[in-house]
Every structure is written in structure tokens, then in C-alpha cells.
Chain A
């Protein structure tokens, strides 16, 4: 079966963890997601694994797994992905998560935003934790900043509407309009 976090790779085993309240959670994960999730505490994980010296078979395999990751948090991230994005379909090009998983190809720029949680471990497995350091298209930087600011403002506007902070919402609406107008100019 496919990994329950990224939906891209074949899950290689069932991972389990126990929360502070004593509740046990389990999920089928691929190595990349399990490794990525454990990366924050991977050194302690390795140390703990080392303490189980002499374990064999399944136990030894399990000991190798980073078992100090927060599975409930990962599960909620996974559920969040499904709640907010019904069907896991890119809103722009219509690519489904299953297609991305099967062919390993995105369909448009928006796929990278929409499927970001699913793509992150995959990208990390190929390229490591690296960020782009090469060239950028001419004039990309100001436009990038404008797009990002617009996204922030739109998000804040939604929050204000929800909490009925209409005065602040009006200010934000004007600011968004101004920024959009600025982008439309040559």
C-alpha cells in the first residue's frame, strides 16, 4: 500500500507510537516520511535504538526506525490534507494525488503549493534539505515578494471575516486591491 502521509511511495512498514495520554497510534509509512518525521530527533532516536542491542528480527528492524516522531501530529497533518483538499485534487490543473503518486509528475505550478505536504518528503529524498542557490529569472524577486504578501493578506482577511473584525478587514481589502493593481502595471 501507499504511504499514508505522502501517498507517493510504497509504505514499507507499520509504524506505531504512543502519545502522552497513553493512546496508541499506527500508520503505514514509507522510509522517506518516517525518516523525515524523525529527523528533528533523529540523533536521540539513533541513541535509543542503540540501547536495544541484541534485538533481532522484527524488533531489530523496528529499533532502527525513528520511534520518537510525533505520529499523532503526522496523522492530523494527513487528515488536514484530506479535509482541506477533498479528493487531493489540484484546484488549478485537476491533477489527482493518485496520479502524482503513480507517475511522479506534477501538472502545474499550483501543484507544488497544493501537494506541498506530500511532495516535501519526496523532494527531500532526492535533493536533501537543500534550497535553490542557482540563478533566478530576471525580475523574479519583486514579483515573488508581491505574490507572497498577497497570500498573507488574503489569509488575514479570511481570519478577520471569520472573527467579524470588519474594520481591519476593510483596511486589508484596500491593501489587497492596491497590491493587485501594482502587479497589473507593466
Chain B
């Protein structure tokens, strides 16, 4: 089995595991003074910065670097809450960006581990490795019955949030996403659009994650998320095959039209870019276009406004961003297929 098939990369873009932790003898971030938060950031990042191998760097987010923060949000490396907070806060990132440890967000520590495709076990293993590394240096806030104590009671227990990002263009096209969201909700998972507000899901990208963190152990939680995600993946895959068979020309036209526009457009608004890249990814995942899926996933992140602006190294107006977006996509697709 190829790595892509093993991790269901045709449908699962990426996986994230997050652990919420607090230090026993410190007030939670919402009650901390600036000085307390300063000290916490230094003491909590120290074990990470000392650890060899991951190449960690500490980035402060309260020093006017709004654009960097926004780009990190768009790439899902930090939460919007961390980026937008007025408090003293920071993030420690590994050099490969597979680990992101948010400091003084809602909790003292939000240990996040990322991976491509559906890889909850790997992500959990990595997150727990970091958990042990920091936990060896500080005493965590913990209660025998309530587990790891978090600022918000919704995260009590394991403090674990396991999320899978899925690309579901066929289910979206068939108008089935409302049912899917309701069905996974009944199975204890929350589903929402990855980009866009509320129920809007640009690019047919959805995130599914566990809601309950207390009463199940870490392995049980990721096992359940994995099972539910796989059922959705199966439905999407079946529907993709059916659409390709019964509506061949519509499907092929859609995929090739996306390729044509993305390779030649001179202006590319964000929403259109998401839709076209989603169509292209669909074609690539069906084996009809010879492009690496990882390139598509990279482009879906790369066309976000903050990431584009950061790349341009100067402020961009909306119209300028559309031009920069079209240029960026064209350059990346040049000479391919």
C-alpha cells in the first residue's frame, strides 16, 4: 500500500492533535498579569528550546507582528484566539512546522502536532512526546477525577482535541453535507468548514474533531475520531466514483476547466481560487491529473490573504492580492501536466 493510500490522502488533507495543559501553581492566562505571562512564556519554552532535534524557535505574538500571526492562522499552525488576543503570548514552532506549542493562549500550553493525511496515531505520539518533555520540567494542573485542569471545562480530562481535515467535494456537490454534519454530531464529533465563517466551507474543506475530552482515554478518543472520519471518507470515495461514472463529461470538464483557469488566469479572487483548487484536487485524487496532492494542499494554504501578503513583503490591497494569487498559482503549476 502506498503512503498516500495508507493515510487516505486522496480525501484527508491533514491531521492535528492538540493537548491543553496548565501549570499547577500559576493562574490560568486569563488571570495572569503581564509579568506573570512573561515569566511563564520563558519558563515553558525553555525545555523545548533546550531539546535537540526539533529545531524549535520561540515567536512572540504581542510585538506588533500581526501579519506573521495571521499567516500562521491561515496555515492552521496557531489559533485565531492566539493571534488576536491582547495578552502577552507566544508560540514555539519546530523547524519542520509539524509541532506548534502555543503559550498563554486560553491555557498555558496548547501542544499541537500535525501530519499529512489521516495520521492520528502518529500525531498523538508526537504530541505526547512533547507533553512528557515539558511535563518533566513543570508540575501540571491535574485532578484525579477531572484529569488535566483547563481554563474552560469543555477541555477537562485528556485536554485532547483530535481533528481531521477532509476534502469533500462530491458530498458537497450532492448537497449531503448538512446530513453528514448532523450524523457525525450524533457520533460525538463536531464538523465545520475549514475556511470561511459559519456554515460556509470554501474549497469543500471540512474539519472534524471530538467534542468530549473526559471519560475516554487518549487512544479511545483518536480511535473513535478515526473510525468516524473513515466512514465519511468511504462515502465521499463511493460518491466520487459514481459521479465520475454517471456524469463523466461534467466531471472532466470541471477538473480540466479548473486546470485551464488556474494555469492562465491573471487575476484570481480568493473564493474562486479555493473552488478551482478544490476541483483540481478532486481530479488529481481520482488519478486523472498527474500532479502531487501535496502541491494542491500547499496551494490551498498559499493562496490565503495573509500568507500571500507575507510573501509579497509589502501591504497588498484586495485587487493586488488577486493578481499576486494568480501569479503564485501560475508559477507553481508551470510546466506541470
Contact = CB atoms under 8 A, between A and B. Distances in A.
Question: In terms of DSSP, what is the predominant structure of the interface of chain A?
Answer: loop
Contacts, number: 104
A131 B136 CA distance: 24
Interface in B135-190: 135-136, 139-149, 151-154, 156-158, 160
B147 A134 contact: yes
A149 to B, nearest CB: 13
A134 B149 contact: no
B28 A108 contact: yes
Contact of B152 (A93, A104, A131): A104
Contacts of A84: none
B236 interface: no
Interface string B94-136: 0000000000001000000000000000000000100010011
Interface residues of B, number: 39
A123 to B, nearest CB: 5
B215 interface: yes
B147 A112 contact: no
A140 B22 CA distance: 14
Contact of A135 (B30, B151, B218): B218
26 contacts: A92-B27, A105-B151, A105-B152, A106-B28, A106-B149, A106-B153, A109-B24, A109-B141, A112-B146, A119-B153, A123-B156, A126-B153, A127-B156, A127-B157, A130-B214, A132-B146, A132-B214, A133-B217, A134-B147, A134-B157, A135-B217, A135-B218, A137-B139, A137-B148, A138-B132, A140-B142
Given A126-B153, A137-B135, 13 more contacts: A95-B31, A104-B152, A105-B28, A107-B27, A108-B31, A130-B157, A130-B212, A130-B215, A131-B144, A131-B215, A132-B145, A134-B158, A138-B136
Interface of B: 22, 24-28, 30-31, 106, 128, 132, 135-136, 139-149, 151-154, 156-158, 160, 212-218
